[in-house]
A = this chain, B = another copy of it.
């Protein structure tokens, strides 16, 4: 056991979740995975993008950004640069796609939920913290509309959380990488799973390296335990939204993680 912050190889960092963090958005949360801190908000707009008009379905669009000094050295603002980096594009596409996998877009109606994930402090795992926090903001926004009777049925179908896992420089599997670990890792994998224990997204990348099927399996096993823990936390903080989600589960629920 020799992780820099004293964690076990399969141990998550301390996760803090402060819901209703901002007053304007329909749902908002400040989520921390260790020193990584992200403000996630969900804003419901009563219309869909032009390409979806008339389809009687909703949409979930996500945007991601980092404060210039979220990182050790200051980054140039994308607004000043005039365009988004590829990394930002990739992350915000991932967040939107992941959330859409647990939402019944027909039940959402012709509405767009805008998810904004703004990293105020970065220490590795900003995309997994963003997906995890975004789900909470989304659930709370949707629950508040649900309580106002705006949906025909509760549109969220399951929990959703994400975690990172990787192979360190000595090829050992580690869970929830901090920045100092991530920058040294041979393999970096992000896993997004539902409460039902299914995958929504698996992205495993060798950094000038490759990995075997056995290593892939170890990483997936480890990620699963991490996601399970995180969903337990989500369940606690979203309160009534959790009840609404669970009503959606079929009676048997065999094999569910949560």
Q: Which chain A residues have a beta carbon within 8 Å of chain B's beta carbons?
A: 22-25, 28, 35, 39, 41, 43, 45, 63, 65, 67-72, 74, 77-84, 86-90, 92-93, 97, 100-102, 105, 114, 116, 118, 120-121, 158, 193-194, 196-213, 216, 220
Contact = CB atoms under 8 A, between A and B. Distances in A.
Given A89-B89, A197-B212, 14 more contacts: A25-B74, A63-B80, A69-B114, A79-B84, A80-B84, A83-B83, A86-B92, A90-B90, A101-B208, A101-B209, A196-B210, A198-B212, A202-B203, A203-B203
Contacts of A68: 41, 43, 63, 114, 116
Q: Across the A-B interface, give the 8 residue pairs with the lowest CB-CB distance, nearest first.
A: A198-B210, A86-B89, A78-B79, A79-B79, A25-B69, A43-B74, A41-B69, A202-B204
Contact of A86 (B25, B93, B101, B205): B93
Contacts of A92: 86
Contacts of A67: 39, 41, 116, 118
B206 A200 contact: yes
Contacts of A120: 22, 39, 118, 120
Contacts of A82: 82-83
Number of copies: 6
**Most interface-central of A43, A102, A121 (chain B CB within 10 A):** A121
A24 B86 contact: no
Nearest to A94: B205
Contacts of A97: 205, 207
Contacts of A63: 68, 77, 80
Given A84-B79, A86-B92, A100 B208 contact: yes
A101 B70 CA distance: 27
A84 B199 CA distance: 29
A77 B92 CA distance: 13
Given A80-B63, A86-B93, A105 B208 contact: yes
A3 B204 CA distance: 29
A70 B72 CA distance: 25
6 contacts: A65-B79, A79-B81, A80-B84, A86-B89, A90-B90, A201-B205
